[in-house]
Structure 1
Amino acid sequence: MYSTLLFSSAIFAGFLGSLLGLGGGIIIVPILTLALGIDIRFAIAASLISIVATSSGAAASFLKDHLTNLRLAVLLEVGTVCGAIVGFLLASSINSKFLFILFGFFLLFSALMMLRKKEDHRADVDHPWSEKLKLAGQYTEKNGQLIHYKIASVPLGLGLMFVAGILSALLGIGSGIFKVMAMDGVMKIPMKVSSATSNFMIGVTATASAGAYFLRGDIRPEIACPVSVGIIIGSWVGARVMPKMPAATIRKIFVIVLSIVSVQMLMKGFK
């Protein structure tokens, strides 16, 4: 019964994580801690393992639809992996109560930022780094329209990815939220491309963090295994659905999910 509950919850988490570019950790950590009473450090470790599975399940589909910007993903991963190493070093000295509160406030801030933005605001001018590294790209909408996009503020985006890596190791969320926000809001990349590129990146970030947690003995196979399998299934379904959905709908789901989870995590942290 316990494994079945973990498995079912993971399918749901994987679906939403893949759809929104979050990696599933944003959903599964609150489920494990709030609903099942699992220690947040074990939940974070299991979440990081599942995030690798989510990224693997969704990335192939997004690549097939030509939504993922591979050149950009490789560049930004330099920042996130370095941040993940720093985050793990900080995690061992932080109280669990603080992790709940940090998680909750981070989600609430993310929801407010996404709520303010009603539509994609694409960059008018390509940043010099983007021009030199040929980071700009294109994708095709479901109606056949070819969308060309440029990339702004590449150095700032790289710095934000370093912060995203730290949050990944601290909270076990794959830092997909922060990556989507940075690419969508700061670098002015279309929402669909931001979500798809985030899905590709979070697996690399989570692998760096999960390896450190494994060495510390925080990974529990009885938790991580059913969660990972369920998230693979859910992420595959989400990846099939996302290209067919309007960007505005994805944004609304994003805000609703973050708002609900943030309140629950804050309540847990302040108790």
Structure 2
Amino acid sequence: MTPVALTLAILLTSVLAGLVGSMLGLGGGIIIVPALTLFFGYDFRTAVAASAVAIIATSTGAAVAYLRDHITNTRIAMFLEIGSTLGALSGAFIAGYVPARFLFLLFAALMAYSAFSMFRARKSELREDVVPDRLSERLQLRGAYYDKALGRTISYRATGALPGLLLMYVSGAFAGLLGVGGGTFKVPAMDIVMKLPIKVSTATSNFMIGVTAAASAAVYFVRGDVQPLVAGPVALGVLCGALLGSRLMVRMKGSTLRLLFVPLLVYVAVQMAWKGVTY
């Protein structure tokens, strides 16, 4: 493959990653890393570094649209980032003491349960009669946005603030231990435990993963893992895909987003379980 053809192939792959990542609140790394390592033959460190850059691009591109439409809830995002950041620090600290096989299998079980819970709620467009807990009420974890698919303004209130914070800690710990987690854990936690609308969950996840990825990308840059000829087309493609995905997401129904998320969670669960068995 010629250098020009390789760059175009990476660019098109990144557009797809940005499209999926912005719609589901993932960042696109779940597509970028396997594509760069398996299909294009790049080193794993180079792929992960490019993925970190891609997550920032996805978050930036999607955040503009989601913040403009008032779908992203920055108050909830900043509250949950406390748990996610502390979890990432803890995960990095205990990485050498916890058996990797146990972590893979535990992560697989959590993803499988999240997939089942989302599939069970696949026909639920919006949750009615959500009763906020005391902490959610005190922190004013609520909001409203205009849903273009339903043609009306949706008001919502969060619940389960403390369980949600604990799950963000677990998510951050897995990210620190395995380099995975991110949106595949954050979105189900907000959707299932805190009972937020799925659109709010994906938009808020997009905002959160960008904050986390900015720190990790700086580390990769200092180490020299960021290769401009790889990260450049990845960032450009992901940004274009994210802008398109953010326009599509606001016009989709929440039940459709859940159906799109379920096979992704199943894929991650199977992948983690296989790593746990064969490690």
- 2-side partners of 1:41 and 1:187: how far apart? 35
- Gaps of at least 5 residues in structure 1 are none
- 2-side partners of 1:106 and 1:35: how far apart? 29
Instruction: Name the CA shift for 1:25/1:185 in 2 (closer, same or farther; >3 Å).
Output: same
Does the 8 Å CA contact 1:14/1:23 hold for their aligned counterparts? yes
Secondary structure of 1:54's partner?
A: helix
Please report how far the alpha carbon of residue 214 of structure 1 lies from its aligned counterpart in structure 2 after TM superposition: 3.5
Secondary structure of 2:132's partner?
A: coil
RMSD of equivalent CA atoms? 3.0
The Cα offsets for residues 19-78 of structure 1, whole Å up to 9 and x where unpaired, read as 111111122122223323333333222211210111000001001111111111111111
Question: Identity percentage over the alignment?
Answer: 48
Please report how far the alpha carbon of residue 204 of structure 1 lies from its aligned counterpart in structure 2 after TM superposition: 0.5
- 1-side partners of 2:190 and 2:172: how far apart? 14
* 1:186 paired to 2:190: no
**Greater shift in the superposed pair: 103-112 or 129-138:** 103-112
- Gaps of at least 5 residues in structure 2 are none
- 2-side partners of 1:204 and 1:123: how far apart? 32
The Cα offsets for residues 108-148 of structure 1, whole Å up to 9 and x where unpaired, read as 55434422332244562112122212111112222432222
Structure possessing the higher radius of gyration over alpha carbons: 2
- 2-side partners of 1:106 and 1:38: how far apart? 30
* 1:127 paired to 2:133: yes
Structure-1-length-normalised TM-score: 0.85
Please name the residue that 1:63 is paired with.
Answer: 67
Note the 1:212-223 alignment, pairs <5 A: 212-223=219-230
1:148 to 147, 155, 160: 155
- 1-side partners of 2:11 and 2:174: how far apart? 25
Secondary structure of 1:218's partner?
A: coil
Secondary structure of 2:154's partner?
A: strand
Instruction: Name the CA shift for 1:134/1:96 in 2 (closer, same or farther; >3 Å).
Output: closer
The one-letter code of the counterpart of 1:232 is L
Instruction: Name the CA shift for 1:9/1:107 in 2 (closer, same or farther; >3 Å).
Output: farther
The one-letter code of the counterpart of 1:184 is D
Instruction: Name the CA shift for 1:100/1:188 in 2 (closer, same or farther; >3 Å).
Output: closer
Please name the residue that 2:30 is paired with.
Answer: 26
Structure-2-length-normalised TM-score: 0.83
- 1-side partners of 2:104 and 2:46: how far apart? 13
Please name the residue that 1:40 is paired with.
Answer: 44
The one-letter code of the counterpart of 2:36 is L
